[in-house]
């Protein structure tokens, strides 16, 4: 379990970052984190995995504040970034053996991981000769050697062919069954809808949606909006995450009771509809 408590972080000379983020990531669940480029997804992942220092009381891993035990996040959390990082002169198998110098897993563990990612037939290929999809799968294979409780995949599906996407989808579901905590970001909303248990939408560093995957739970959501005023902001802050644009405040909710002054625009169970609605700009 990862608990994030009112976390804010901004880069120097930039407004990019995350603002007042409170989230939980549970074991045995796949959480999809989606948002436009610059919405704060990668920053959030770097904060969770210890690549960026955080203030005390903001991120708890297994009820331990990672500020006081930063090694914990390194030992319990693995992250795979969207740009594959492999040793190109080495073969697939040599890459695995090189990284395994750190983790000292049995040889059969390497074989099992390569099999899981359909890389066995390529184990003697130099990494520089692999396609982008195969390189990404090798990148994930080296990550899996760590065998941590939490696995973060930052845009793992970008630029992949349909076969690679299917292989990764099946991999995510297998590791969910193993009781791992999986966090996946992707721009392919149809894939997020297929594999996730929980969906989080970030916009300009803020959480604007955080719910059980509506298509899986068969939950109907109301898409509603009101004028962007100070009073309406105070009102919505008491209800839940909302999206803000120049003229409108927008909320996606299962319960319209008490939403006085809100205009219900439509109803949906589709992630894409919710995402597009919350990302509207006026």
CB 224 within 8 A of CB 262: yes
* H or E stretch covering 79: strand 77-80
73-90 pLDDT, tens digit each: 778 999 998 777 899 999
- So what's the pLDDT on residue 175? 96
Q: Sign of dihedral through CA atoms 180, 185, 188, 192?
A: positive
For 38, 80, 119, 159, 233, the CA distances from 167, given in Å and listed in that order, are 28, 16, 11, 14, 43
Percent of the chain at pLDDT > 70 equals: 100
For residue 105, pLDDT over 80 is answered with yes
For residue 1, pLDDT over 90 is answered with no
110-146 pLDDT, tens digit each: 999 999 999 999 999 999 999 999 999 999 999 999 9
* H or E stretch covering 233: helix 230-237
């Amino acid at each position: 379990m990862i608990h994030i408590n009112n976390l804010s972080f901004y880069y120097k000379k930039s407004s990019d970052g995350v603002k007042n983020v409170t989230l939980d990531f549970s074991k045995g669940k796949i959480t999809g984190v989606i948002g436009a480029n610059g919405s704060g997804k990668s920053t959030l992942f770097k904060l969770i995995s210890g690549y960026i220092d955080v203030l005390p009381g903001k991120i708890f891993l297994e009820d331990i504040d990672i500020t006081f035990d930063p090694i914990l996040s390194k030992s319990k959390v693995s992250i795979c970034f969207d740009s594959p990082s492999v040793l190109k002169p080495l073969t697939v198998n040599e890459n695995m053996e090189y990284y395994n110098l750190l983790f000292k897993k049995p040889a059969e563990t390497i074989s099992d991981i390569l099999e899981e990612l359909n890389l066995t037939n390529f184990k003697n290929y130099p990494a520089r000769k692999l396609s982008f999809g195969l390189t990404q799968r090798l990148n994930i294979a080296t990550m899996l050697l760590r065998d941590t409780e939490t696995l973060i995949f930052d845009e793992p599906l970008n630029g992949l062919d349909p076969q690679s996407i299917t292989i990764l989808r099946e991999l995510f579901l297998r590791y969910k069954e193993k009781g791992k905590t999986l966090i996946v970001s992707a721009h392919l909303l149809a894939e997020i809808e297929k594999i996730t248990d929980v969906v989080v939408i970030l916009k300009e560093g803020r959480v604007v949606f955080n719910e059980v995957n509506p298509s899986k739970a068969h939950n109907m959501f109301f898409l509603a909006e009101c004028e962007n005023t100070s009073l309406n902001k105070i009102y919505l802050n008491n209800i839940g995450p909302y999206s803000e644009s120049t003229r409108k405040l927008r909320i996606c909710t299962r319960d319209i009771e008490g939403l006085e002054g809100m205009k219900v625009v439509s109803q949906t169970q589709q992630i894409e509809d919710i995402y597009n609605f919350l990302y509207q700009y006026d």
